Structure 1
């Protein structure tokens, strides 16, 4: 296996409760906070948002690749990723995800085909497959 890239991020402090995130190349520096919905102060990002951002960016790259393989021209791409922190009766925390993909320049059928293909290509999708519940929705962009 050939390494293509390694992203390096350091998290300091109290993690999701007032910690800080910093990428080794300086491209990302941000505070962390517990969301208000979980009783925290909010006002900063959290691990679920960071995971959603990474997955969404990677997923759109996989969509573009799947479209190129099929010689399909997309006029727009957008994905909204919902990362949900769950808490079971056994007191264990988990995650679930919903990816809502909207593609311009294709019909609903092709949007679904590209979503399915991207879900097979995307490294985040591969890493979570069988580990957390994931729903992928797709539709053609209006207009």
Structure 2
């Protein structure tokens, strides 16, 4: 049974060259097309905000996985997320790379924890089957099974 835990609200005005503000007022930012695509300096963009949210959320999933196993993550653990905007035909899309450095675990344990986090992270669950997400450990890609990136419909129900 689904149980709603939290709802965030934000309002955008002016699209990519406008402004975005969260209902709490904590986010209150000018938006711009990325600087490399002709946008202005000193403003953020949807891809940057998505990367920040995904990296934070994925690191929390790693914390949950570690706690469930009775482990503790090194305080210097990092999750770096790169979000790429691309054009394909008339449409646009996003792809992400999550690069994890758990610092204090060996590679096999880290890979296992990253795969488990990918199964429970709300961003991973929400993008699964809709967006390419590459998992890496200290810069090296890790194999992902097809079912780990399958969408809800492909799996025959809610995950």
Matches within 5 A, 1:103-114: 103-114=102-113
Query: What is the CA RMSD across the aligned residues, in angstroms?
Result: 1.4
Look up the match of 2:6.
Answer: 5
Q: Does 1:66 align with 2:65?
A: yes
* Structure 2 residues not aligned, in runs of 5+: 139-159
Cα distance in 2 for partners of 1:127, 1:74 equals: 25
CA contact (8 A) 1:73 1:105 kept: no
Cα distance in 2 for partners of 1:43, 1:91 equals: 29
If the length of structure 2 is used for normalisation, what is the TM-score?
Answer: 0.82
Q: Which has the higher contact order (CA 8 A, sep 6+)?
A: 1
Structure 2 counterpart SS, 1:104: coil
* Structure 1 residues not aligned, in runs of 5+: none
If the length of structure 1 is used for normalisation, what is the TM-score?
Answer: 0.90
Query: How far is 1:114 from its partner?
Result: 0.8
Query: How far is 1:134 from its partner?
Result: 0.8
- How many residues were matched structurally? 137
Look up the match of 1:24.
Answer: 23
